[in-house]
Amino acid sequence: MQSDLERGAAAIRRGLSVAGAEIPPTVAARAGRDVDDVMARFRTTGGHTVVALVGGTGSGKSTLFNQVTRSSFADVGHVRPSTRQASACVWGSRADDLLGYLGVHPRRRLFRDTMLERGPMQDLDGLVLLDLPDHDSVVEDHSDQVDRLLPIVDVLVWVVDPVKYADHILHEKYLRALRARADAIVVVLNQVDTLDMRGRAAVDADLRRLLTADGLGGVPVVHTSGLTGAGIDALVHVLRTAVAAETTAHRTARAGLATVAASLLTHLGRTEATIDNRIIDLTVTDLMHATGVGAVAESIEKATAGWRDVALATPQPPSRATVAAVGSTWAGRVKHALPPLWARAMDAALPSVETLLHVTAAAVESVPLPATRVDRAVRLGGGGVATAAIALAYVVAGVVLGWTPLWMAAPAVILLAVAGALLGAAHTVRAAEGARRAAGYARAVRAALTVAVENALVRPARSVLARHRDVRDILAEVRDQPLPTAHATERASTARAAS
C-alpha cells in the first residue's frame, strides 16, 4: 500500500530531473520540499487505521471498546456521561506520534503489541481504536473533542441504542453532514439484548429508513450487545476490513502528491507540437527555393534539350533572408504550445541562421551537376536531319532554276517528310532526356536537404518535445491516480454480510 506513495514521490522527483532548468528552480525546489513533507507526515501518522466509536451518552461505546479489547480499560459508569476523555487501543505498535496528534492522553493509551495481548486478533495490527466521549453531552468540551477528531479518523463507528437511535442531533448535525464520507461510516445498533425479535426488526427497519433519509442508505448496520457479546465478531470483522483498506493518512498523502504534480503541470504546456513528414517536406521545399535549385534544374533541362551547349546555371549560396525565415518558421511551429522556459530550451537546441545557411549550402553542393551531353545516336540523328535539309535545299533550288526536272521534286518531298520526322524524334528524345536529368537533380538535392533538415532541425526539436512530453506524462500520472473506491465498496459489503 505504501509503495504507491513511494512510486508517486519518485515519479515527481524524476519529472523534476528530466525537466531540468525548464521548470523554474525555485518552483522545483519548493516541489521537492513538499514531496518530502508529504512523505514525512505520512510516515508519522500513516500505516495506521484510526477507527472511532462515536455516539450518544450511554449507547455503549465504552462497553464495546472493552469487549473488542478484551479489557476493562474504558470507564463504564452509571453516571452519565461517563467517558470524559478519549481512550485509545493500538494493535501492533506504539504509535506515540499519532496518539499525540490525536490528542489521546498518555494515561488513556492501551497497547496490544505482544502475542499474548493480541490473542487471536493478530490481523488487527495497525488499528487504533478510539473510545470517544459522547457527542450529545451536557459537557460542552465533549462535542468539541468529537468534532475535532471526526475529520481525521479513517472510519466512524456510530453506536446507537434502541431508545435514542432517532436522536435529532445525531442525524441533523452529524450523520447528514457526513454523507460525503458514507464509505467511512458504520452504524452499530447496540443493546439488542433489550429487544425481542419483532422489536429488533422494527428498530432496524426504522433506523435504516432514517439513514436513507440522511443520504447514508448504503452504510452497514451491525447489531451488537455489549452485555452478552453478541455481534462483537461482526464488529471485529468491520475493524479488520478497515485495517485492510486505504487509510485517510494514505489518501491525504496521495492527494498531497497529486497537488504537487498538478502545480508543477502549470509550468508545462497541455500538449506539444508534432513534427510530421508534411512539415518536413514544406521546410525542404522552402530551402530549395532559398538556394535557387529550380533555376539550376531548368538550365540542366534546357542545355540537354538544346542543340548547342548553353551555359549551365550553378547553385548559388542560399539566400540568407530566406534561410532565416525558414529557421524562424520552423522554430515557431515546434515551439507552439510550449511555455516560455521550454520555448527558450527549444531556441537553444535549434541551429543559428549561420549554421542553417552552412548546412543548406553543404547539402546542395554535395549533389553533382549532371552532364548535359546527349547520346551519339541522338546527335547523329540531328546530323542526318541537317544533311537532308541541305540536299532538299539543293533540289528545290534546282527545280526553281530549271536545272533539275520536275519529277525529282517528288523524292525531295519524301526526303523532306523523313527529315521532318527525324528532326521531331530527335527533339523529343533530347527534351525528354533533359526533363529526366533536371528532375533527377532536383530529387537528389531534395534528398540531401531532407537529411540536412532531419539532422539540423527535426532531431533537436524532437528531443526537446519528447522531454516535455515525458515530464508531462510522468506528472499527469501522479495527478490523475484513480480513487480507491474498490476498498470502500469492499469494506461496506463485507461489513453488511457480517451483520
- The minimum distance between CB 16 and Mg ion, in angstroms, equals 50
Please choose which of Mg ion, ligand GTP, none residue 329 contacts, taking the beta carbon within 5 to 8 angstroms, the exact cut-off set by kind.
none
- The minimum distance between CB 51 and ligand GTP, in angstroms, equals 15
Contacts of 213 (CB under 8 A, 6+ apart): 171
**Which CB atom, from 1 or from 202, has the smaller least distance to ligand GTP?**
202
Whole-angstrom CA distances from 273 to 2, 75, 236, 279, 338 are 37, 68, 57, 11, 8
Whole-angstrom CA distances from 78 to 65, 85, 165, 349 are 16, 16, 20, 80
Please choose which of ligand GTP, Mg ion, none residue 278 contacts, taking the beta carbon within 5 to 8 angstroms, the exact cut-off set by kind.
none
**Which CB atom, from 44 or from 82, has the smaller least distance to ligand GTP?**
82
Contacts of 37 (CB under 8 A, 6+ apart): 256
Contacts of 53 (CB under 8 A, 6+ apart): 61, 62, 64, 65, 129, 130, 131, 132, 157, 159
- The minimum distance between CB 141 and Mg ion, in angstroms, equals 14
If DSSP codes are grouped into helix, strand and coil, which group holds residue 269?
coil
User: Rule CB under 6 A: which residues touch ligand GTP?
Assistant: 55, 57-63, 76, 78, 80-83, 133-134, 190-191, 193-194, 225-227
**Which CB atom, from 55 or from 315, has the smaller least distance to ligand GTP?**
55
Please choose which of ligand GTP, Mg ion, none residue 190 contacts, taking the beta carbon within 5 to 8 angstroms, the exact cut-off set by kind.
ligand GTP
Please choose which of Mg ion, ligand GTP, none residue 145 contacts, taking the beta carbon within 5 to 8 angstroms, the exact cut-off set by kind.
none
Please choose which of ligand GTP, Mg ion, none residue 327 contacts, taking the beta carbon within 5 to 8 angstroms, the exact cut-off set by kind.
none
**Which CB atom, from 191 or from 291, has the smaller least distance to ligand GTP?**
191
**Which CB atom, from 133 or from 269, has the smaller least distance to ligand GTP?**
133
- The minimum distance between CB 134 and ligand GTP, in angstroms, equals 3
Cα–Cα dist 203/165, whole Å: 8
Are residues 221 and 499 in contact, defined by beta-carbon separation less than 8 angstroms? yes
Are residues 121 and 91 in contact, defined by beta-carbon separation less than 8 angstroms? yes
Please choose which of Mg ion, ligand GTP, none residue 58 contacts, taking the beta carbon within 5 to 8 angstroms, the exact cut-off set by kind.
ligand GTP
**Which CB atom, from 62 or from 372, has the smaller least distance to ligand GTP?**
62
What would the grid cell of residue 190 be? 447496540
Residue at 452: amino acid letter:
A
Please choose which of ligand GTP, Mg ion, none residue 57 contacts, taking the beta carbon within 5 to 8 angstroms, the exact cut-off set by kind.
ligand GTP
Please choose which of ligand GTP, Mg ion, none residue 71 contacts, taking the beta carbon within 5 to 8 angstroms, the exact cut-off set by kind.
none
Please choose which of Mg ion, ligand GTP, none residue 87 contacts, taking the beta carbon within 5 to 8 angstroms, the exact cut-off set by kind.
none
- The minimum distance between CB 147 and Mg ion, in angstroms, equals 17
Query: Buried b / exposed e across 86-109, counting CB within 10 Å, b at 16+?
Result: bbbbbbbeebeebbeebebeeebb
**Which CB atom, from 227 or from 337, has the smaller least distance to ligand GTP?**
227
**Which CB atom, from 81 or from 327, has the smaller least distance to ligand GTP?**
81
Contacts of 392 (CB under 8 A, 6+ apart): 412, 415, 416, 419
User: Rule CB under 5 A: which residues touch Mg ion?
Assistant: 61-62, 83
**Which CB atom, from 61 or from 491, has the smaller least distance to ligand GTP?**
61
Cα–Cα dist 141/106, whole Å: 19
- The minimum distance between CB 76 and Mg ion, in angstroms, equals 7
- The minimum distance between CB 91 and Mg ion, in angstroms, equals 20
**Which CB atom, from 78 or from 308, has the smaller least distance to Mg ion?**
78
Cα–Cα dist 76/347, whole Å: 75
Number of continuous H segments (helices) and E segments (strands) in the chain: 19, 7
User: Which among 163, 249, 277, 174 is positioned nearest to 219, based on CA atoms?
Assistant: 174
**Which CB atom, from 11 or from 130, has the smaller least distance to ligand GTP?**
130
Cell match 525546489: residue?
29
Cα–Cα dist 132/417, whole Å: 120
- The distance in angstroms from the start CA to the end CA of the chain is 27
Helix (H) or strand (E) holding 459: helix 459-479
What would the grid cell of residue 271 be? 500538449
- The minimum distance between CB 158 and ligand GTP, in angstroms, equals 11
- The minimum distance between CB 84 and Mg ion, in angstroms, equals 9
User: Which among 459, 41, 454 is positioned nearest to 287, based on CA atoms?
Assistant: 454
- The minimum distance between CB 253 and Mg ion, in angstroms, equals 32
- The minimum distance between CB 195 and ligand GTP, in angstroms, equals 10
Please choose which of Mg ion, ligand GTP, none residue 80 contacts, taking the beta carbon within 5 to 8 angstroms, the exact cut-off set by kind.
ligand GTP
Please choose which of ligand GTP, Mg ion, none residue 262 contacts, taking the beta carbon within 5 to 8 angstroms, the exact cut-off set by kind.
none
Please choose which of Mg ion, ligand GTP, none residue 193 contacts, taking the beta carbon within 5 to 8 angstroms, the exact cut-off set by kind.
ligand GTP
- The minimum distance between CB 62 and ligand GTP, in angstroms, equals 3
If DSSP codes are grouped into helix, strand and coil, which group holds residue 54?
strand
**Which CB atom, from 207 or from 444, has the smaller least distance to ligand GTP?**
207
